[in-house]
Amino acid sequence: MKLLRKLKPFDPKSGNLNVVIDTPKGSRNKYAFDFKINGYKLKTVLPQGTVFPYDFGSIPATTADDGDPLDVLVLMDEPVFVGCLVEARLLGVIEAEQKEGGKTERNDRLIAVAAESHTNGNLKSLHELDSKLLGEFEHFFVSYNDARGKKFKPLGRKGPAAAKRLIKKQTSRRK
């Protein structure tokens, strides 16, 4: 797991985004890497009938406003295991703010497609996804946070250039 500390957000050879999967598609269990124990830990369990719509992971060497690595939802053909490194192509970002206990902070959600995806491999931008599907992603994040006592408010949707700028900004915060 020391590898997680050494990985860069982007693969130097392919230019693809490095995503470490925390929670597989279809799981009610939300896992997160805990650097104190150097391993994955169960963070929360979603309510009955609620599951992650796609694999959910984090981007190494980034720090979001909430103190965790940047989150990314990865469109793939089949779920992978917790801790799997997936090279992905950025599609964009759902800009959002999250409110908990009177404190409001940005908690954007990046959307990417696995570089090896057969089903969605042709996608290049968030704007190519069906708007209904994007609405379902937003609804999932609103519901997921609501079940944990947090308020998640989508602010806008932007393409891959904005997503890449966000990653670069959040990478520089760690230095």
102, 116 in Cβ contact below 8 A?
Answer: no
Containing domain of residue 39, as a range?
Answer: 2-172
Q: Look up the pTM and report it.
A: 0.93
The reported pLDDT for the residue numbered 67 is 84
User: Which residues neighbour 104 within 8 Å (Cβ) at sequence distance 6 or greater?
Assistant: 97, 98
Distance between CA 107 and CA 121 in Å, rounded?
26
147, 108 in Cβ contact below 8 A?
Answer: no
The reported pLDDT for the residue numbered 30 is 96
The reported pLDDT for the residue numbered 68 is 86
**Total structural domains within the chain:** 1
The reported pLDDT for the residue numbered 13 is 92
The reported pLDDT for the residue numbered 118 is 96
Listed as ranges, residues in the chain with pLDDT below 50 are: 175
CATH number at residue 22: 3.90.80.10
